[in-house]
Amino acid sequence: MSDLAAQPVKQKTEHLPPFPLNQWYVAALSRELKDEPVARMMLGNPIVLFRNADGEVAALEDRCCHRALPLSCGTLEPDGLRCGYHGMLYNSQGQCTEIPGQEKIPRRARVKAYPVKEQDDIVWIWFGEDANEPPAFEPPRYSPHRSDQYFFDGGVFHYQAPYQLIHDNLLDLSHLGYVHLKTIGGNAKVHMNAQMDVSSDEKSVHVVRHMLDSEPPPTYTAAYPFKGRVDRWQEIEFHISHLRIWTGAVDAGSEPIDNPSRGGFHMRGFHGITPETETTSHYFWTIASNPTENQEEVMKKVVDQTAYTFEEDKEVIEAQYRNMIDFPGEPMIDIHVDAAPNRARRIIEHLRTRSGK
């Protein structure tokens, strides 16, 4: 009797979407889209991104409706994206506007177009349950990319690992003292015992960590003229499609580090985490900082060391996932640093479940 009663629940669960829908996800950094189409699988959907003649970004399913060649194999022209097989031309709305050698264009000669919006040097794409419904809200703004206070740069990583493992990593910065000794790490015991406050609502998680009177890590001393020991902060905001991490330090005892207008050395990280499939991910990152002197040289150090840091994270996370595959079903225990990652996972599961209703 209990087995029969469980069957409908199991069947319903199997039909839930693997990712939260009705959300904006990061599709690209603005600088990636130049004079060639960019192919990218996102949430299991093959998509081609390109700019039209006016510089506006478009996103279409990456498939010609004639013989299914990926449109990303084609070429950009002033009037749209031309398929590289038989030359059918598509506009930003996915409509075929020209078939070489044929005057009449069938009404069905079109492909799916996705809502996209470019702002603050980030390209966002909307994935909704109903393809005919417009986005329910605007994508988030990111003010550090528009601030005169900061310089920024960034890049893109591809992960052979599920996207939520990247969330776990970014929400738990206690690992810095073990994984990132040469850059942003610092004393491992200080990280593990840092004062930490975790709060959340139905869509986000907020983490604040303070490490007072500590030794500055190598990246900090290379970028800022600290006098000695520092008061250090880490503030993390988790959202469904991205995280914002504000880290930095001031000279120990010089000013409160809970002051929103605090001085010192700042690193503001943007982390767009977009699932490619259920087992692979895209990671779009930028780092904004406030060098006070030798700005170009210092900023290059910050960006280079940040990229090196993320390469270390990538190595750890992909090795972690390979071992999870090699040890299927083995239980994993939680410790005190897992409070924020666990809250984020509950939020995603709730929204994923709600998307299937």
Asked if 206 and 237 count as a contact pair (C-beta separation under 8 A), the reply is yes
In the chain, the number of structural domains is: 2
Tell whether 211 and 91 lie within a shared domain.
no
Q: Which of 84, 100, 127 finishes a domain?
A: 127
Whether pLDDT at 21 is above 90: yes
Q: Which of 33-42, 107-116, 211-220, 253-262 has the lowest mean pLDDT?
A: 211-220
Maximum alpha-carbon separation in the chain: 76
Percent of the chain predicted with pLDDT > 70: 90
Q: Which span out of 1-5, 172-176, 241-245 was modeled with the highest average pLDDT?
A: 241-245
Confidence of residue 13 (pLDDT cuts 50, 70, 90): very low
**181 to 33, 88, 277: CA distances (angstroms):** 35, 53, 32
Q: Which of 289-298, 304-313, 348-357 has the lowest mean pLDDT?
A: 348-357
Tell whether 343 and 218 lie within a shared domain.
yes
Q: Which of 127, 156, 187 finishes a domain?
A: 127
What is the structure's pLDDT at 184? 64
What is the structure's pLDDT at 354? 81
Tell whether 158 and 235 lie within a shared domain.
yes
Q: What is the pLDDT of residues 62-75, one digit of tens each?
A: 999 999 999 999 99
**71 to 102, 183, 208, 319, 345: CA distances (angstroms):** 20, 41, 45, 34, 35
Tell whether 161 and 294 lie within a shared domain.
yes
Q: Compute the mean pLDDT over every residue in the chain, rounded to the nearest whole number.
A: 91
Q: What is the pLDDT of residues 125-140, one digit of tens each?
A: 999 999 889 999 999 9
Rg over alpha carbons for the chain, rounded to the nearest Å, is: 23
169 in a domain, yes or no? yes
Cα(112)–Cα(28) distance, integer angstroms:
19
Q: What is the CATH number of the domain that holds 225?
A: 3.90.380.10
Tell whether 233 and 305 lie within a shared domain.
yes
Domain hosting 50: range is 17-127
Whether pLDDT at 87 is above 60: yes
Q: What is the pTM of this model?
A: 0.91
Q: What is the pLDDT of residues 228-282, one digit of tens each?
A: 999 999 999 999 999 999 999 999 999 999 999 999 999 999 999 999 999 999 9
Confidence of residue 195 (pLDDT cuts 50, 70, 90): confident
226 in a domain, yes or no? yes
What is the structure's pLDDT at 10? 38
What is the structure's pLDDT at 296? 92
93 in a domain, yes or no? yes
Residue that wins the pLDDT comparison between 179 and 207: 207
Whether pLDDT at 120 is above 90: yes
Tell whether 69 and 177 lie within a shared domain.
no
280 in a domain, yes or no? yes
